[in-house]
């Protein structure tokens, strides 16, 4: 069984990227091995090496079903401004309710993500629409990374970080 990478082992730049208003994509698989993909609203890196990704239930039903079925999960975090990105993988995740502590952080990250989209050419209206979410629809996926990969385009993309 893979050894999980602890919170303290995630480099500070990756923690900052994950919580800095970036694009968050979640991937898993269905019963037939076909990929399922969803989009997160934001992320909180919690003590104890837990990555807490907030996402809307209605738009991410296939991903949530895969998580309920204990399918492996990958989450990729990508900065809009320079495409810096990394991915965490885990053999499973769990679904938890969103809590009141999540909402101010998701609001903060949403504003930062919108600003990044505007910087790369989206109108403010487009960026706001892309980042819109319903707080009442949010749930959290919690996972402990077992593997972490750099995904920033260029030399070294896809390299696994040492444990």
Residue 94: CB atoms within 10 Å: 14
Per CATH, domain 7-149 is 1.25.40.20: no
Identify whether the C-beta of residue 109 lies closer than 8 Å to the C-beta of residue 102: no
pLDDT at residue number 108: 97
pLDDT at residue number 12: 85
pLDDT at residue number 2: 42
Q: Which parts of the chain sit beneath pLDDT 70?
A: 1-8
Q: What is the mean pLDDT of the chain?
A: 91
Within the chain, residue ranges assigned H as helices are 12-18, 61-68, 102-119, 124-131
Residue bearing tokens 């109108």: 123
Q: Where are the domains of the chain?
A: 7-149
pLDDT at residue number 156: 84
pLDDT at residue number 161: 87
pLDDT at residue number 131: 95
User: Rounded to the nearest 5°, which phi and psi values hold at 117?
Assistant: -65, -40
pLDDT at residue number 136: 96
Q: What residues form DSSP beta bridges with 23?
A: 78
């Amino acid at each position: 069984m893979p050894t999980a990478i602890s919170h303290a082992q995630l480099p500070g730049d990756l923690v900052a990227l994950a919580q800095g208003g970036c694009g968050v994509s979640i991937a898993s698989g269905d019963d037939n091995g076909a990929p399922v993909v969803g989009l997160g609203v934001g992320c909180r890196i919690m003590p104890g090496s837990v990555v807490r990704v907030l996402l809307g239930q209605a738009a991410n039903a296939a991903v949530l079903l895969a998580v309920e079925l204990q399918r492996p999960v990958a989450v990729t975090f990508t900065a809009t401004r320079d495409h810096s990105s990394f991915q965490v993988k885990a053999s499973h995740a769990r679904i938890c309710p969103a809590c009141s502590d999540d909402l101010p952080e998701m609001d903060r990250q949403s504003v930062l993500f919108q600003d990044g989209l505007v910087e790369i050419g989206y109108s403010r209206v487009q960026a706001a629409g892309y980042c819109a979410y319903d707080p009442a629809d949010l749930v959290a996926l919690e996972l402990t990374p077992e593997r972490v990969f750099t995904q920033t385009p260029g030399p070294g993309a896809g390299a696994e970080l040492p444990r």
